[in-house]
Amino acid sequence: MKLISWNVNGLRAAVKKDFAETFNELDADVFSIQETKLQEGQIDLDLPGYHQYFFYAKKKGYSGTAVFTKEEPLNVTKGLGIEEFDDEGRTLTLEFKDFYLINSYTPNSQQKLKRLDYRMRYDDALRAYMKKLSADKPVALCGDLNVAHEEIDIKNDKTNHKNPGFSDEERAKFSELLNSGFIDTFRTLHPDDVKYSWWSYRFNARQNNAGWRIDYFVLSDNGEKMLKAADIHTDIYGSDHCPIELDLDI
């Protein structure tokens, strides 16, 4: 089973670029997106063969997640059951026969870490939710998790220390997640590879490959036997992020 995750930085904007072509070329079984930035009725996507599920933020033009899947899920759950996070449309869960897929657009801590407390609460709630589901069957978490975990995951680690996405607190929370029974699939299969998934629009960052790896597929330990391949499609444009891939043997 081929899974794709991509922060499109506005689905309506992405559709005006090459989203349809990219979507068809990747031919994923399950395609998850973050930062849709739209409300119900603002887009009509023609994706033959796919079931479409959206979770919108209450605030217009902000946040939001969606999943497009060939296989109809057993259940779809919007949110974590916590209003302060669910109002922003950040978490969408699809239950399949063999695993749960959680699509997450993790909050950005923002400049001077002014939203760090909110972000920490989200990380804790998401981890608890993942652990609860993984007691039933394997869990695959995908999305823009807004953290570069280790120095290898960011081009300029020294100048970004304590900045949002590379603060000690955020990195520690990601370590806590992994230590509670989950694996970073790309890093597990490619321990020494330097590949990024996000680049600032400023300072020619993408041309200079001054990026961050902040998009992930995380898999529960009880699903590790399904892990087949993981990749980051750095050659695909259309957003400040690029798509990432996970292949599962199901």
CA distances from residue 111 to 54, 166, 202, 212 in whole angstroms, order as listed: 28, 12, 16, 17
Quick one: how far is CA 35 from the chain centroid? Answer: 10
- By CB atoms closer than 10 A (0-12, 13-18, 19+), residue 114 is exposed
Residue with tokens 């902040």: 214
Sorted by sequence, the CB contacts under 8 Å of residue 140 that are 6+ apart come out as 3, 99, 100, 101, 102, 217, 218, 219, 220, 223, 246, 248
Can you read off the two tokens belonging to residue 195?
């590949």
Residues known to be catalytic? 105, 144, 241
- Phi/psi zone of residue 21: left (φ > 0), alpha (ψ -120 to 50 degrees), beta? alpha
The reply to whether 144 sits in an annotated binding site is yes
Specify whether the CB–CB gap between 222 and 134 falls below 8 A. Answer: yes
The reply to whether 7 sits in an annotated binding site is yes
Sorted by sequence, the CB contacts under 8 Å of residue 53 that are 6+ apart come out as 66, 67, 68, 69, 73, 76, 92, 94
CB atoms within 10 A of CB 82: 14
- Polymer length of the chain: 250
Can you read off the two tokens belonging to residue 64?
């939001």
The reply to whether 240 sits in an annotated binding site is yes
Binding region for Mg(2+): 7, 35, 144, 146, 240-241
Binding region: 7, 35, 144, 146, 240-241
